[in-house]
Amino acid sequence: MRLRKEHGVKEKLEEYKDLVVFLEESKKMKFEGLFNNDNPIKAEFGIGKGRFIIEMAKRNPDINYIGIELRDQVLLKAVKKADDEKIANVKFLVANIENITDIFEENSLDGLYLNFSDPWPKKRHFKRRLTYREFISKYNVILKEDSWIRFKTDNISLFQFTLNELAELRVIMKEISLDVHEDDGFVDNIMTEYEEKFSKKGNKIMSVTFMPHR
């Protein structure tokens, strides 16, 4: 469902300068001083209302998190929640994932989460899927060596597409699950808003963790 555009969202985000990162044009993100520590940094691309990344930050105070969302008015909901809960180890950024190598330095992230990405079901749109090989090659650039990506979806076609892309790239895969909620290996699974919604409909949640090809 298309969101109705709200006025003044950018101005509202600017009120949360401790949580929201505003990049200068043609400048990449600099981590020095962003969190005031040298802890590992992990990111979630497409955070929705932020439940997953905020809960991850709460459970792992020794890890820093960056949440990226294309829709600023959706991101604002996550920012407000993080502010209400006084979460110090998370930052937010409005950005298009297509431009990710223009945002992050090489070898700058320690891990990445892709949760319920848009499946882009039409065949002609397959290159827009966040697990398409060109996106994976970009993740390879910004992730540190031996860092992992965890992908979750309820869309079986997207999951099959993802596994095929990873196989073609000869990517190392682990923790493949066809039903996360019934898999004993996912006892600490954190549900996103979409995951809760789809699970209540009876949809099985699938997941794979992989290391980009090097």
> Active-site positions?
118
- Residue 29 to residue 32: CA distance in whole angstroms: 9
Bridging pattern class, strands 172-177 and 64-69: unpaired
For residues 185 and 149, the answer to whether their CB atoms sit within 8 Å is no
77 exposed, middle or buried (CB, 10 Å; 0-12, 13-18, 19+)?
middle
